[in-house]
């Protein structure tokens, strides 16, 4: 029995495009040899386009379920972009809307920056104060299961769609973590995520701490305000800039943040195949800290814009970089809006540090390497300190009640005190603070010597 196949208008359109290309190629063949060579080098791959149209028609007629032209073409576009690199993708209308919201600081979801690795979804970084961060997900975790669905060979866009949902709804996921033999299971509650990109605290008189969790359009402005607020409390002799688990963000924001600390010179530049992909960011005059020492903390979750800042400060010898080797994302993505309200995001350039280093797949190597550890008040330098209060049956202090009353009066400071205590108990921050103190003493000694 002969089967009659209906030919869709889209298929006819594709065939007409191919016919046009063939006509153009025949016309080119009649010109001189130089033109023919040029046309063959720049011409479209006609055999592959014919192959695409054949597959398109076969799926339309024979696939077990009916598939719309829109669905097929959108899938083809997604596949074309995802085959380039992990950061190139197609964004439909809703995805593009969420991306635009994300750069300004509020969006829905779990609060993780993700990429693909060996067919699995890899967590680049959990974002501060989000469901993912609070649940204990870590940079480098591989998500292997989402709500009972295996992630292997699922597209990144499909995986992200599964993770999205109504705020308050829950999702179960399983991850594999380095050093563990069995999957770790989590249950998270989705939320509207409002990211405060900069937080700041005065660790001790003269020594400040700023945490940049992501790079948004106003991050540099917020950072400058935060530092000025710290300086109002006491002159700063040193500053810790914490970029750990910062997945990056807006390129201009990274350049602006670097500019806050660097007096002059190149901050970062981009370079691609086309001439207009070259762009250079240079510092304007002024250093908000007036050359006071800086320690920048990075780890494997520090990516993209974080690496731009760390690389610029390292190349200009403006800061000591401490921690672990960074993620290694040294590419620039361009977003082009489409007529349908969606967009394509694809890699158009690599960025380079002021000295010309590309960190793509290499990362920023810290000046002082420190692995993750926890430091507690009870155990330092491997020595456990036992106090009278730890002994069973110890006598109480007669002033104990008075101290409790004093504590009640300072309830408003309890939350801040707890935060400062946690920061001091973070091993890397503890070491960074010690280093800052040493650098301050050294710089003061040198200044005194020069004055004499």
Active site residues: 304, 315, 329
The two structure tokens encoding residue 364: 């920023």
Distances (CA, A) of 158 to 78, 81, 89, 108: 11, 14, 12, 16
Rounded to an integer, what distance in angstroms lies between the CA atom of residue 329 and that of residue 323?
A: 17
Q: How many CB atoms lie within 10 A of CB 87?
A: 18
Distances (CA, A) of 310 to 104, 105, 264, 270, 307: 22, 22, 16, 16, 5
Rounded to an integer, what distance in angstroms lies between the CA atom of residue 307 and that of residue 313?
A: 10
Question: Is 331:361 a contact under the CB 8 Å cutoff?
Answer: no
The two structure tokens encoding residue 186: 């989590």
Burial annotation 320-352 (CB, 10 A radius, 16+ → b, else e): bbbbbbbbbbbbbbeeeeeeeebbbbbbbbbbb
């Amino acid at each position: 029995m002969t089967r009659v196949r209906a030919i869709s208008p889209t298929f006819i359109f594709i065939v007409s495009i191919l016919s046009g290309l063939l006509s153009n190629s025949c016309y080119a063949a009649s010109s001189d040899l130089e033109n023919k060579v040029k046309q063959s080098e720049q011409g479209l791959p006609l055999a592959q386009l014919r192959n695409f149209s054949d597959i398109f028609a076969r799926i339309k007629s024979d696939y077990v379920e009916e598939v719309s032209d829109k669905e097929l073409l959108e899938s083809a576009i997604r596949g074309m972009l995802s085959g380039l690199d992990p950061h190139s993708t197609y964004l439909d209308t809703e995805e593009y809307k969420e991306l635009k919201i994300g750069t300004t600081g509020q969006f829905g979801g779990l609060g993780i920056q993700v990429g693909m690795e060996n067919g699995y979804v890899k967590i680049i970084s959990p974002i501060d104060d989000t469901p993912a961060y609070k649940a204990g997900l870590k940079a480098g975790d591989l998500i292997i299961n989402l709500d009972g669905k295996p992630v292997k060979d699922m597209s990144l866009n499909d995986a992200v769609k599964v993770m999205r949902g109504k705020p308050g709804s829950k999702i179960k996921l399983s991850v594999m973590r380095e050093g563990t033999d069995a999957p770790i299971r989590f249950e998270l509650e989705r939320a509207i995520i409002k990211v405060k990109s900069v937080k700041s605290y005065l660790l001790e008189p003269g020594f400040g701490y700023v945490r940049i969790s992501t790079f948004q359009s106003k991050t540099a402005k917020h950072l400058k305000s935060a530092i000025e607020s710290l300086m109002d409390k006491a002159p700063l002799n040193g500053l810790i800039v914490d970029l750990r688990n910062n997945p990056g963000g807006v390129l201009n924001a990274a350049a602006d943040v670097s500019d806050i600390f660097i007096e002059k010179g190149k901050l970062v530049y981009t370079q691609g195949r086309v001439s207009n992909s070259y762009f250079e960011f240079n510092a304007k005059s002024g250093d908000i800290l007036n050359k006071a020492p800086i320690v920048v903390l990075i780890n494997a979750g520090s990516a993209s814009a974080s690496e731009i800042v760390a690389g610029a400060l390292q190349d200009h010898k403006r800061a000591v970089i401490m921690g672990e080797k960074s993620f290694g994302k040294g590419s620039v993505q361009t977003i082009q809006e489409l007529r349908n309200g969606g967009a394509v995001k694809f890699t158009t350039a690599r960025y380079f540090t002021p000295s010309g280093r590309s960190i793509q797949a290499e990362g920023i190597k810290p000046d002082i390497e420190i692995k993750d550890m926890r430091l507690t008040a009870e155990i330092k330098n491997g020595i456990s300190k036992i106090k009278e209060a730890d002994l069973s049956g110890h006598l109480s202090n007669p002033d104990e009640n008075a101290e409790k009353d004093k504590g009640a009066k300072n309830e408003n400071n309890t939350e801040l005190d707890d935060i400062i205590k946690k920061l001091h108990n973070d091993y890397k921050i503890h070491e960074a603070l010690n280093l800052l103190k040493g650098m301050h003493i050294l710089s003061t000694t040198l200044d005194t010597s020069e004055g004499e």
